[in-house]
Structure 1
Amino acid sequence: MILERDQSSPITVPIGTFRRLLGYLLPYRQKLLIAFSVLLAATATDVVQPILIKIFLDQYLIPRHFPRVVLAELGALYLSLVIVTAVLNIIQLQLFQILALDIIQRLRIELFDKAQDIALSFFDRTPVGVIVSRITNDTQAILDMFMTVLSTFVQNITVLGGILIAMFSLNAHLALYCLILVPVLMGVMALYRKFSSPVFHRARQQLALLNAKLNESLQGMAIIQSMRQEHRMRREFGQINDAYRRARFRNMQLNSLLLRPLNDVIYSLTLIFILWYFGITSFAHAVNIGVLYAFVAYLSRFFEPINNMMQRLNFFQQAMVSAERVFQILDHDELAPRKIGQDQPQITQGEVVFDDVSFSYDGQTDVLKHISFTAHPGQTVAIVGHTGSGKSSIINLLMRFYPVERGHIYIDGVDLRHYSSQELRRKIGLVLQEPFLFFGDITSNIRLGNHFISDDDVVQAAQFVQADRFIRQLPEGYHAPIGERGATLSTGQRQLLSFARTMAMSPIILALDEATANVDTETEDAIQQALTQMRHGRTTIAIAHRLSTIQDADLIIVLHHGEIVEQGTHQELLARQGLYYKMYLLQQGQTL
């Protein structure tokens, strides 16, 4: 489980996180080499410029010697270097940004692919908004790091190296004093990272919670308005938003103290020292004005990349925190159950056997206890019971959404764990109580990307489940657009489409999780007619809320607190006058 860190605990970003991020550069070594070469060329042309000014001052301005041709050539060379530097910087900036976009595209694809493979138990525990925040906001922070921080640091470190070489060529003794600035500035960076890391963690945590609350509010807007929960939601959203604001404000305070202002103080002190040095030197011998100008110019240029890197530390720290959160998902080892063994069994008959199956979601409380039953090919087995009795858990295990760790489930005599996921999804059709439709049109929601399902198959599946009539009444028929989650359709229409989607796959086994619980009577009658046809030649395991819909089932299993307390046909269970009998009377409106 991915948890947010305790805000009171000290937080440091491991070096391994940065190294792992740099590992994403390896597939793009050629692009990186080209960008770095252009960057070196831009640095060289930039560092040479003060040398030309020094030459002009010492050899022409101070001696008052102004040969026109030479000065014109010198000025043209200087102007050319300025233009070339600007062009090269534009090129290297674009190259680094393209490289960053490629890396983040790959990282987001890895994250999305990983999300498809993570066990459903992870999504049970983690709010959707938190996951969305990691795939969007956190990867965006990493993108900013590659776009601005990486190129800035590489460029400015290269510039610093060139400036130090130039300074040593001018005055090695003074340049040696300036080297003291390097550990001082590195200490400032380390200090900033130490204090900013927990602040960034808190900010990212609150942003994830903000997204989670926003996602929850938008999806539940009808309930919020109908239950008059607007004030409570505004208060809760405001509290999270205020916590996020406080974390960001703390970040701004650190930036205002440890970034540019402190750097400017160090620059001013260094400039005073250099002017003092040349002033003292002037008492002993004449000071070369060109050298003085070049040294001051290089000092300014020395601190310019330092300032740039200091400003980018903010993005760097955010990126490191975001990368750590992203890698937590990529490294999450709780994956969806996988096939074991090398055999490739096929589901042909559809016999389902639960053999002494017990199951717990949290590893402590069993929601299923010693479940055993057999659904023979072509039979309909109905599972009934009060809310929380474990009905849906049986479907979840049959679909292998969760691993079976105690007991066994067999299909056609083969352990469920030996089937490939493709075989299970292809041969077991699932219809849930709350149908989920994707943004698109009617046809795409029935086909679901399965290219072997033709347009004729789509129409036949819709006709089979009594959905063709309402589909053809839509303005664009089978190409009618569907809004997010099927918001433009009624509950009954969405359910019929989910039936059509299932039947288009021609499954051998049907798993129905209270598929008629939320539909109107007319739609339920249509679905019941379709179900009667669907059962022929198919094993059906149906979770039912309305007992009237499963009276013709071959076997009815009654669950109570995760245990099978009764099983038999409708008439047999009524004759026993047990729990099923009581449930039936209550639904008929009769007193016990």
Structure 2
Amino acid sequence: MREKTGHFKVFLRLLKYAKPHAKSMAAAFFLLGLATLGEVIGPILIKIFIDDHVAPRNFDWQRIGLLAAGFLFIQFANSVILYLQSLKFQTIALKIIQQLRIDVFAKVQALGMKFFDRTPTGAIVSRVTNDTEAIKEMFVSVLAVFIQSAFLLIGIFIAMFSLDFVLALYCLLFLPLIFLIIHFYRKFSSKFYQEQRERLSQLNAKLNESLQGMGIIQIFRQEKRMRREFDAINEKHFDAGMRTVKVNGLLLRPAVDLVYILAVIILLTYFGITSWSESVEVGVIFAFVNYINRFFEPVNQVMEQLSFFQQSIVSAARVFRLLDEKEMSPEQHPEGKAVIERGEIEFRNVSFSYDGKKDVLKNISFTVRPGETVAIVGQTGSGKSSIINLFMRFYEFDRGEILIDGRSIKSYGKEELRKKIGLVLQDPFMYYGSIKYNIRLNNPEISDGEIVEAAKFVQAHPFIEKLPGGYDHVVSERGSTLSTGQRQLITFARAIAANPKILILDEATSNIDTETEEAIQTALEKMRKGRTTIAIAHRLSTIQNADLILVLHKGEIVERGTHPELLAKKGLYYKMYLLQNGLTEKMDELLVQGER
């Protein structure tokens, strides 16, 4: 019962997407009604022809001609009407799916990073593409067939009752059998379609993972393992599909055909028994046999469409679960038109946990004054990137406060934050499109001249000019045809072109060779002037000129100071410096002293 209620709610929610197209839907259903009327009238015209003209040998050619003309007109009109109503339903369905996909895509854009941490990319892609495509069948054919079949069944029963009331009552007895078949079909197919959709999501996730990590797969000779894993998921998808096929094969056409045969037997038996005591009109027999056939034709159509209906409902439920996802990106509560003017950053006793159990940041406090550069260093897993994630509002912090210009970071609108903060990550992301597009990122305020100036500023101009088409050179997906260093330089140009007030560098020079790094350090010095900068660094040589260096260890700031000050303390920073500069003998001496 709960499953039925759930499916009904999903169905009603789907119908809400049809509300903006109510007039078009009404027109489509009107055309459907006309087509159904034509289906019902056709056998009556033939019955009149047989009983009034063929049986009594009354060949009134004028009336026969009118009957023939009427019959042909109905058939022709039906063809035109069916085409028009099909076109209407197709158009409505495509518009509904278009809107549904936009809603899903917009929802995905607004979800928090925690959602993406626990959800495979392929599963999300499957919701936006495969599931919405399955829903389309609901509006393209399922609803039309259901409504048309309902109209047709009502019309057929009206016609049957007008011909023979008793026999029509007998025919009504088959309805419970048909509803029973529908009940069992929905009960079993729902489970199998749900499993099939889940397996398809897993297939997409595995495929996406394989394509993104193809280099690693080939280098470490993981092709066979990936094939085995893909084959295992594919086998489960096949098994779910076979269970669906078996249910369809048993409960769709065969079961209904069996009921149809019983109906024909009863019909012919009735007329046979009736003919012993009274005459039976041949036209009535023809009409009834025709109506019985037409009665089961929409029933078969409904049963066949039930397969698409179940797929649509299961897919819609998956899509709506995504639309109802609560893990949104952190909310902002803008106070008027709060504007970032100076760019001062302050962390006050900020603590954070990804899983709600173990803190990855503990009581983090520091201040970055306007125009200053604060560098954050530490071992892998010490919490460096988590600080950036919180500042960029990718995650909501649990305790403490983050301030910009003395205001809570939550008091600024998202657009203001994104506009005034420039971010360069360790892994540079490139979009499919031109070099110019990747630097501008659809920001109309950035002119072509400013794009070139930004590229020159970060030493990217020389290699861009050598590319076919220069700044109009089309970058492949994720910039795979460019070197990592080239992609990084383009992301530097992207950040500079936006002219941010605050600059965030997350190990931005880690993938750049030493020669390029020297050139870019000069550019960074110029870029930092007048901007507040937070730089996460792996190479200590890149942050020696920072105004303040924070040393993180297990989520806590254990040391702070300038480069010379931290070296003088001979603490964790000093040991990191010795290791990176190859001073192993000095390091061994320190370790011996530590053991003593």
- The two structures have a TM-score, normalised by structure 2, of 0.97
- 2: CA distance between counterparts of 1:43 and 1:499? 65
2:590 aligns to what?
none
1:478 aligns to what?
471
2:411 aligns to what?
418
Asked if residue 188 in structure 1 is aligned to residue 181 in structure 2, the reply is yes
1:582 aligns to what?
575
Q: 1:70 offset after TM fit, Å?
A: 2.0
Amino acid at match of 1:164: F
Contact 1:13 1:197 in 2 (8 A): no
Q: 1:178 offset after TM fit, Å?
A: 1.3
Contact 1:357 1:409 in 2 (8 A): yes
For residues 99-135 of structure 1, the C-alpha deviation after alignment (integer angstroms, 9 at most, x for no partner) is 1001000000101111111111101110000000000
Asked if residue 136 in structure 1 is aligned to residue 129 in structure 2, the reply is yes
- 2: CA distance between counterparts of 1:405 and 1:221? 38
1:390 aligns to what?
383
1:298 aligns to what?
291
1:5 aligns to what?
none
SS in structure 2 at match of 1:435: coil
- 1: CA distance between counterparts of 2:165 and 2:145? 27
1:211 pairs with 191, 204, 207, which one? 204
Asked if residue 357 in structure 1 is aligned to residue 367 in structure 2, the reply is no
1:20 aligns to what?
13
SS in structure 2 at match of 1:488: coil
Amino acid at match of 1:321: V
1:331 aligns to what?
324
Asked if residue 344 in structure 1 is aligned to residue 361 in structure 2, the reply is no
Asked if residue 119 in structure 1 is aligned to residue 112 in structure 2, the reply is yes
- 1: CA distance between counterparts of 2:260 and 2:12? 31
Q: 1:37 offset after TM fit, Å?
A: 0.8
1:165 pairs with 149, 158, 164, which one? 158
Q: 1:183 offset after TM fit, Å?
A: 2.5
2:432 pairs with 434, 439, 444, which one? 439
* Closer/same/farther in 2, CA of residues 129 and 343 from structure 1, 3 Å limit: same
Asked if residue 460 in structure 1 is aligned to residue 460 in structure 2, the reply is no
For residues 244-282 of structure 1, the C-alpha deviation after alignment (integer angstroms, 9 at most, x for no partner) is 000000000000011000000000011101111111111
Amino acid at match of 1:583: M
Asked if residue 538 in structure 1 is aligned to residue 517 in structure 2, the reply is no
2:24 aligns to what?
31
Contact 1:11 1:197 in 2 (8 A): no
Asked if residue 70 in structure 1 is aligned to residue 60 in structure 2, the reply is no
- 1: CA distance between counterparts of 2:154 and 2:446? 63
Contact 1:347 1:412 in 2 (8 A): yes
SS in structure 1 at match of 2:307: helix
- 2: CA distance between counterparts of 1:152 and 1:520? 65
- 2: CA distance between counterparts of 1:120 and 1:158? 50
For residues 528-584 of structure 1, the C-alpha deviation after alignment (integer angstroms, 9 at most, x for no partner) is 121111110111100001111111111111111111111111111111111111111
Contact 2:334 2:413 in 1 (8 A): no
2:270 aligns to what?
277
- 1: CA distance between counterparts of 2:61 and 2:131? 58
Identify unmatched segments of 5+ residues in structure 1: 1-8
- 2: CA distance between counterparts of 1:194 and 1:355? 57
- 2: CA distance between counterparts of 1:405 and 1:232? 41
- 2: CA distance between counterparts of 1:148 and 1:44? 19
Contact 1:12 1:197 in 2 (8 A): no
Q: 1:68 offset after TM fit, Å?
A: 2.1
- The two structures have a TM-score, normalised by structure 1, of 0.97
- 1: CA distance between counterparts of 2:312 and 2:451? 47
Identify unmatched segments of 5+ residues in structure 2: 588-596
Amino acid at match of 2:526: Q
2:593 aligns to what?
none
1:4 aligns to what?
none
For residues 479-537 of structure 1, the C-alpha deviation after alignment (integer angstroms, 9 at most, x for no partner) is 11111011121111100110111111111111110001112112222221211111101
Segments of 4+ moved more than 6 angstroms: 9-12
Contact 1:338 1:420 in 2 (8 A): no
- 2: CA distance between counterparts of 1:494 and 1:12? 52
- 2: CA distance between counterparts of 1:342 and 1:419? 7
Alignment of 1:44-55 (within 5 A): 44-55=37-48
Q: 1:10 offset after TM fit, Å?
A: 8.1
Contact 1:10 1:198 in 2 (8 A): no
1:3 aligns to what?
none
- 2: CA distance between counterparts of 1:233 and 1:191? 39
- 1: CA distance between counterparts of 2:10 and 2:141? 18
Contact 1:12 1:194 in 2 (8 A): no
Q: 1:478 offset after TM fit, Å?
A: 0.8
SS in structure 2 at match of 1:194: helix
Asked if residue 402 in structure 1 is aligned to residue 395 in structure 2, the reply is yes
Contact 1:13 1:321 in 2 (8 A): no
SS in structure 2 at match of 1:55: helix
- 1: CA distance between counterparts of 2:271 and 2:114? 70
* Closer/same/farther in 2, CA of residues 540 and 113 from structure 1, 3 Å limit: same
- 2: CA distance between counterparts of 1:501 and 1:323? 39
Contact 1:357 1:372 in 2 (8 A): yes
1:317 aligns to what?
310
For residues 74-121 of structure 1, the C-alpha deviation after alignment (integer angstroms, 9 at most, x for no partner) is 112111111111111111111111110010000001011111111111
- 2: CA distance between counterparts of 1:519 and 1:183? 74
2:195 aligns to what?
202
Alignment of 1:438-587 (within 5 A): 438-587=431-580
State the aligned residue count.
Answer: 584
- 2: CA distance between counterparts of 1:105 and 1:402? 30
SS in structure 1 at match of 2:482: coil
Contact 2:551 2:560 in 1 (8 A): yes
Amino acid at match of 1:421: K
For residues 291-311 of structure 1, the C-alpha deviation after alignment (integer angstroms, 9 at most, x for no partner) is 111011000000000000100
1:223 pairs with 190, 195, 216, which one? 216
SS in structure 1 at match of 2:367: strand
- Which one is further off, 295-304 or 459-468? 459-468
Contact 2:503 2:534 in 1 (8 A): yes
- 2: CA distance between counterparts of 1:311 and 1:479? 52
Amino acid at match of 1:536: K
Q: 1:64 offset after TM fit, Å?
A: 1.5
- Percent identity over the alignment is 57
Q: 1:13 offset after TM fit, Å?
A: 4.3
Q: 1:206 offset after TM fit, Å?
A: 0.4
Q: 1:14 offset after TM fit, Å?
A: 2.8
- 1: CA distance between counterparts of 2:306 and 2:517? 61
Contact 2:375 2:534 in 1 (8 A): yes
2:422 aligns to what?
429
